[in-house]
Chains A and B, each alone.
Chain A
Amino acid sequence: MDAKNCFHCGIEIIKKDEIIYDNKSFCCNGCKTVYEIFSQNDLSCYYDFEKAPGATPQEIKGKYDFLDDEKINTKLLEFQEETTNIVSLFIPHIHCSSCIWILENLQKLQKGVSTSQVNFPEKKVRITFDSSKTSLKELVYLLSSIGYEPYISLENFETGKKNVDRSLIYKLGVAFFCFGNIMLLSFPEYFEVEEFWINQYRGFFRWLIFALSLPSFLYAASDYYISAYKSIKSRMLNIDIPIALGIIVMFVRSTIDIVLDYGQGYFDSLTGLVFFMLLGKLFQQKTYNFLSFERDYKSYFPIAITKLNSDGTEIPIQVYDIEKADRLLIRNQELIPVDGILISDTTSIDYSFVTGEAIPIEKKSGDKLFAGGKIIGSVIEMEVLFSVSQSYLTQLWSNDIFQKKIDQKHKTITDKISRYFTPILLLLAAIVFIIWLFIDVPTAFNVLTAVLIVACPCALALTAPFTLGNVLRIMGKQKMYLKNAMVIEQLAKVDTLVFDKTGTITSNKKSAVEFVGNELSLDELSLIKNAMRGSNHPLSRKIYDFLPNVPKVEIQEFEEITGKGIIAKANDTTVKIGSAFLLGIIDEEMSQQTKVYIKINNTFKGYFVFDNQYRKGVIELFDQLSNKYELKILSGDNEGEKETLQTLLPKTTELVFNQKPEQKLEFIKHLQEKGKNVMMIGDGLNDAGALAQSNVGISLSENVNVFSPACDGIMDASQFSKLGYYLKYSKNAMRTIYMSFGLSLLYNLVGLSFAISGNLSPLVAAIIMPLSSITVVSFVTIMSNYYAKK
């Protein structure tokens, strides 16, 4: 069978379902419809930029009814005046140039849209539309119908217009402007030729340079003064004190120099220094715009849900307005926003957002439903027990750990070094000054300023930003996305690793399937496989993938009983696939495993067992890590797999089961109180507390575009086995920093020897400063790239 791929979405086409339209083959009606929409509107160029760029549109009937509500609409809109509306929508599917093209041509598909602009790194589209001609709901429906369903969650509810801080870029621009011009203007004097021409214009050049240095000194470097002032106030010596001191001394001394006509001053070095240091800051500021590290339950939860009034009418209601005893209607694929009691007969709920467990859980009428689960199957009705903020899961966020801003919870390596560097420098300057006072008083002042200028730890301050910024990028390329550079320092210090079990060390994608029972004949196999095709239940999909390729059989009768199983009939054979209850079997073995039973023509054939499958390389990884780290497994599940884990993993691994989200948080806290540096690796919302509490919280994600809880880093699940490599690399990064600290101190010593002997001419300063910065920057870049390959 030759494999054909869908022209729209690229999925391999199952022969039977193939739809041929316009000489192109599609895997399903949805994809064909999207193609039709595009070709009718002259937009089939969509397929020229990228091969099979599309996504199959999902069924969304009723899902966005809440957009009819005026109040909710207003909250979502970025701008609203008369009929002009602007909305920014997050669309996870944006991934290629075709996406940009089609989304920026929305006005061809929908009347009333005037412009739409894509921000690719943020995966957002900003649409301006005329509210008299179209509505937000229509737009969302249009986007969904072409496979670009926007993601609207409770988080959108609160975000207004974000203010982007661009001051660093302004400062960098100003600093570069000053630096460049001053460098050019200082050039004639570097050669110190006593020539008539230079002598005549000396004053003009010097004062021009002075004027040009003012914006750099006053504006571009202002952050350093503020930071130095703050650190003096809190009696902590950070690196910005010697920097600010150096800059100010440099400026004052240079000004005196040109006023009294001693020389040209150090304005060139001054502006160069400011420029390089700002560059370092920018380099460190690498962020992954399309990822968010600050998510809490709000980005998972829907913004509104359908409420059933007592008279049976349905109205959309904002999630925050839900009250106890309300009746809610929740559709297939919708999330339960609050704790409640199931009123409908049965349902299956997918708690993979919360626990990482992919196999849905069955619930019966009267069972308690916890917020965070996703309904799979038909519409259900439930009664609310708690409001959003008081639900079991969301209560976790009232813990203190989520309240404080943990910006400066750690001291950075540079600050630590400067605790020694700053006092030594000041002491040295004082000693040298006093010694020179006895020899020659005017020179003493010169030497004092020269020492402070040359010791300005510019290279020192550049080391960490450039190394960490580079490491951040390299790790990002290898699908480990860290929140900021500080995380790397923390990563290098970690001595205890805590893993979540479900979804973290087990994969929630591929559970191993096993068939237990009498061997099935080929006919029976093909019957089961073909019956499975019609079902969208996750377990059916898994069994379908597990079964070998078999000939097609026409299924004549097919019935799916939600929450129970499938009954299908073909060629006078009836097959029942599903729970023990459906088949009327009593399974004596009480087991933790999920089973799907098979009955053909009323004879019991056996069952499929789903086993949690551990991720590839887990065992090797644990073996490798157990030498250096303390390993722990923290699971919310029962002890069903304790023995398997004990045999698989190194003996030193501690296994803790039955942990509630708060208990996980407490567990980490307890370890930290014992002086451990804990790294937590988890995936679900139930790990959110532990991730926030730990020194480094890494969240594992099958698809980084989908959501993961607040954390310090997001790791692509396929890279899990490389965890040891990341840890080692972060250690090497810190080693690189130490080495380059040594290098920059060496430069400082050379500079100081000039300064102490009273020979620091502006030319020497202008050579040493950029030279040291450039060597340090290239050294750390080369080293971090070298270690990355190791």
Chain B
Amino acid sequence: MSVIYILITVSIVVAVVFLLAFIKAVKSGQYDDDYTPSVRMLFDDELKKSPSKIIEVEKQKPI
């Protein structure tokens, strides 16, 4: 039956880890701006590297 002590301790430790993670996130300023990151993550990295090529390809299509 003493397994209950272990289980509860583990569950509390997990919860504490999440609390600490939350505090760390707030401290690093992640909650100061809650809009920009939501847009930023939608930008495509590949497009950034060679957008000119992609545009060129697009241009060639109609011709």
**Would A177 and B19 count as touching, CB distance under 8 A?**
yes
B6 at interface, CB cutoff 8 A:
no
B55 at interface, CB cutoff 8 A:
yes
Digitize A184-204: 1 where CB-to-B-CB distance is under 8 Å, 0 elsewhere: 010000000000010011001
Chain A residues contacting B47 (CB-CB under 8 Å) are 45, 48
**Would A173 and B22 count as touching, CB distance under 8 A?**
yes
**Would B35 and A166 count as touching, CB distance under 8 A?**
no
**Would A181 and B15 count as touching, CB distance under 8 A?**
yes
**Would A174 and B19 count as touching, CB distance under 8 A?**
yes
Partner pick for A97 among B4, B29, B39, B50, CB 8 A cutoff: B39
A456 at interface, CB cutoff 8 A:
no
Chain B residues contacting A177 (CB-CB under 8 Å) are 15-16, 18-19
Chain B residues contacting A180 (CB-CB under 8 Å) are 15
**Would A208 and B51 count as touching, CB distance under 8 A?**
no
- Provide the main secondary structure of the chain A interface: helix
Chain B residues contacting A620 (CB-CB under 8 Å) are none
Tell me the minimal C-beta distance from A780 to chain B in angstroms.
Answer: 24
A104 at interface, CB cutoff 8 A:
yes
- Taking CB atoms and an 8 Å cut-off, the chain B residues in 1-41 that contact chain A are 1, 4-5, 8, 12, 15-16, 18-19, 22-23, 26-27, 29, 31-36, 39-40
How long is the Cα–Cα vector from A204 to B7 in the complex, in angstroms? 13
B61 at interface, CB cutoff 8 A:
no
A619 at interface, CB cutoff 8 A:
no
Tell me the minimal C-beta distance from B22 to chain A in angstroms.
Answer: 5
Chain B residues contacting A201 (CB-CB under 8 Å) are 4
A105 at interface, CB cutoff 8 A:
yes
Chain B residues contacting A174 (CB-CB under 8 Å) are 19
Known interface pairs A166-B26, A173-B23, A181-B15; A42-B51 also in contact (CB < 8 Å): yes
**Would B51 and A120 count as touching, CB distance under 8 A?**
no
A399 at interface, CB cutoff 8 A:
no
B57 at interface, CB cutoff 8 A:
no
Chain B residues contacting A39 (CB-CB under 8 Å) are 52, 55
Partner pick for B55 among A44, A101, A117, CB 8 A cutoff: A44
Partner pick for B33 among A97, A119, A173, A208, CB 8 A cutoff: A119
**Would B35 and A169 count as touching, CB distance under 8 A?**
no
Digitize B41-53: 1 where CB-to-A-CB distance is under 8 Å, 0 elsewhere: 0110001101110
Chain B residues contacting A461 (CB-CB under 8 Å) are none
Chain A residues contacting B48 (CB-CB under 8 Å) are 45, 105
Digitize A659-702: 1 where CB-to-B-CB distance is under 8 Å, 0 elsewhere: 00000000000000000000000000000000000000000000
How long is the Cα–Cα vector from A185 to B55 in the complex, in angstroms? 60
How long is the Cα–Cα vector from A181 to B8 in the complex, in angstroms? 10
Partner pick for A173 among B5, B26, B32, B52, CB 8 A cutoff: B26
Chain A residues contacting B40 (CB-CB under 8 Å) are 100, 104
Query: Which residue of the partner chain A has the closest CB to B27?
Result: A166
A367 at interface, CB cutoff 8 A:
no
**Would B32 and A119 count as touching, CB distance under 8 A?**
yes
How long is the Cα–Cα vector from A164 to B16 in the complex, in angstroms? 25
A560 at interface, CB cutoff 8 A:
no
**Would A181 and B1 count as touching, CB distance under 8 A?**
no
Chain A residues contacting B36 (CB-CB under 8 Å) are 100, 117-121
A170 at interface, CB cutoff 8 A:
yes
**Would B22 and A120 count as touching, CB distance under 8 A?**
no
Digitize A206-222: 1 where CB-to-B-CB distance is under 8 Å, 0 elsewhere: 00100010000000000
How long is the Cα–Cα vector from A359 to B18 in the complex, in angstroms? 60
How long is the Cα–Cα vector from A177 to B4 in the complex, in angstroms? 21
**Would A170 and B23 count as touching, CB distance under 8 A?**
yes
How long is the Cα–Cα vector from A208 to B36 in the complex, in angstroms? 41
Tell me the minimal C-beta distance from A518 to chain B in angstroms.
Answer: 55
Task: Given contact pairs A42-B51, A164-B29, enumerate 20 new A-B contacts (beta carbons under 8 Å).
Answer: A39-B52, A42-B52, A43-B51, A44-B52, A97-B42, A100-B36, A100-B40, A117-B36, A119-B36, A120-B36, A121-B36, A122-B33, A166-B27, A170-B23, A170-B26, A173-B22, A173-B26, A177-B15, A181-B12, A181-B15
Return 28 A-B CB contacts under 8 Å, by A number.
Answer: A39-B52, A39-B55, A43-B51, A44-B52, A44-B55, A45-B48, A45-B51, A100-B40, A101-B43, A104-B40, A104-B43, A118-B36, A119-B32, A121-B33, A121-B36, A122-B33, A166-B26, A166-B27, A166-B31, A170-B23, A173-B19, A173-B23, A173-B26, A177-B16, A200-B1, A201-B4, A204-B5, A212-B12
Q: Which residues of A contact B (CB under 8 A)?
A: 39, 42-45, 48, 97, 100-101, 104-105, 117-122, 164, 166, 169-170, 173-174, 177, 180-181, 185, 197, 200-201, 204, 208, 212
